[in-house]
Chain A
């Protein structure tokens, strides 16, 4: 038995359930639809914007604003890919077919990474182009012919893909869909609010470590003063995913899979 057959098997599983299809549709709608809505709103208000904000206006990350919402959709896709196996009990037939649990987890990770990368890159490129079309004439625009702009759009797609892997890894650890989605949402939404209530000095130091802040650092062409640089942000997010995934694999190997 090889990794290739394990990946083939997981690919059949991944695309043969409605939750995946729905998740992909929602990802497109949120990335492109809300991205376009944000762009239209910005175009309408640009003339009244104060000069300082106009100076720092970034047409790239603004047009990619829909990713802030799509990150929840991709997280759910990733989480359900494994938690639905536990809730239905099909994890038992999966493990009977592929007893090497590490191999099973890696096969799932590979399928999720490749398919979500395609989906998220397509969504990000479309929303970027759509945003620039909406901006043109009124608001400054960016072009993919610029290396940094191209990098930002690609990394926006990669950011979403990595978040789906984070959702998947949390699923490996927690095994229950509801618990997993709650924790994932808390990491992205609640953690920043908690941090907001902390003293200013803590905020300055800690906020840049939040996954969504790392995402902002990854998808803006210019590095901001209080955030990480593009590549450092990518590296940190990858480390988050790796730590969560390895923890999940260790638990998968250690735990009994027979009874939930």
Chain B
């Protein structure tokens, strides 16, 4: 189990992590979702003892990382797949890691085989593609057969086959009772790979829950086609509905349920041709959740304020 205890990290004036406080439970895949620059990687680096917390602490099974006697046996991590000496072979990279934690040499070949890079084990890492580097990173994380695993943006650079493989791999790790903590800035990725999602923005905790729970918190819209959209707009607006005209006889309504829209239309004699609830898309949910917390928001170019 990973426990983040009122964690704060400041780099000079920048507040990268702001009083984060949550737990990551074993047995499920926990997603760590947030826009770029929201503090996901910083949090992971602090969990691994690479960066020092300004306030609060992160513990693994009750201990700080630097107090672990043989850390690779307890925690496996893939933070940056390219962070390997380019002139060293994959096998030598893993052998050096294994030796530091008294892991048997035969385990190196096992994880190379498992990650699907046994055939390039004696090649220099500098020539590896991003996907191969990711696989090497995963092999390194598995070396000590740890109960806690951290992956920072693991699907970056993987081909579709690799992505499918890694999703199934995370699920199987979780089924074995391990703690699996995976970060991503893509809600759609989290939706298919994570059981639980923790959402942060600008270093702050926003919410957590399953994908269904998160989607439910954001209200969808209802698409309405009707005979007299002008009259319907009037009625719906007076009942606190938010109406947006899509085309000549189509409206997008938010703030009202489809039932309520139907009742209002019936009582005022407007004929309804179509009444379709639209579930918020994953991207909409994500944007809605993190709207106030986007570090590098895009601004429309050349827009003139009116």
Do A and B make up one complex? yes
Q: How far is the CA of A23 from the CA of B97 in the complex (A)?
A: 24
Instruction: Verify B101–A97 contact, CB threshold 8 A.
Output: yes
Q: Take A8-B99, A17-B88, A97-B97 as given contacts and tell me if A89 and B82 are in contact as well, using a CB distance cutoff of 8 Å.
A: yes
Instruction: Verify B96–A13 contact, CB threshold 8 A.
Output: yes
Total number of B residues with any Cβ neighbor in A under 8 Å: 37
Asked if B131 is an interface residue, CB under 8 A from chain A, the answer is no
Instruction: Verify A100–B66 contact, CB threshold 8 A.
Output: yes
Residues on A with beta carbons closer than 8 Å to the beta carbon of B77? 96
Instruction: Verify A9–B100 contact, CB threshold 8 A.
Output: yes
Q: Closest approach, in angstroms, between the C-beta of A247 and any C-beta of chain B?
A: 19
Q: Chain B 72-84 against A: per-residue CB contact (8 Å), 1 yes, 0 no?
A: 1001010110111
**Interface residue from A12, A92, A96, A259 paired with B71 (Cβ < 8 Å):** A96
Q: Chain B 236-279 against A: per-residue CB contact (8 Å), 1 yes, 0 no?
A: 00000000000000000000000000000000000000000000
Q: Most chain-B Cβ atoms within 10 A of its Cβ — which of A19, A92, A97?
A: A97
Asked if B175 is an interface residue, CB under 8 A from chain A, the answer is no
Chain A contact residues (Cβ within 8 angstroms of B): what range? 20 to 34
Instruction: Give the number of A-B contacts (CB < 8 Å).
Output: 95
Residues on B with beta carbons closer than 8 Å to the beta carbon of A92? 45, 48, 50, 79-80, 83
Instruction: Verify A95–B49 contact, CB threshold 8 A.
Output: yes
**Interface residue from A12, A88, A89 paired with B96 (Cβ < 8 Å):** A12
Asked if B55 is an interface residue, CB under 8 A from chain A, the answer is no
Q: Chain B 108-132 against A: per-residue CB contact (8 Å), 1 yes, 0 no?
A: 0000000000000000000000000
Instruction: Verify B85–A5 contact, CB threshold 8 A.
Output: no
Asked if B95 is an interface residue, CB under 8 A from chain A, the answer is yes
**Interface residue from B49, B101, B140 paired with A1 (Cβ < 8 Å):** B101
Residues on A with beta carbons closer than 8 Å to the beta carbon of B49? 95-96, 99
Q: Taking beta carbons and an 8 Å cutoff, which residues of B are in contact with A?
A: 41-42, 45, 48-52, 65-66, 68-72, 75, 77, 79-80, 82-89, 92-93, 95-97, 99-102, 140
Besides A1-B71, A5-B102, A100-B66, 17 new A-B residue pairs in contact (Cβ under 8 A), listed by A number: A1-B102, A9-B99, A9-B100, A10-B96, A12-B92, A12-B99, A13-B96, A17-B88, A90-B93, A92-B45, A92-B50, A93-B83, A94-B100, A95-B48, A98-B100, A257-B50, A259-B51
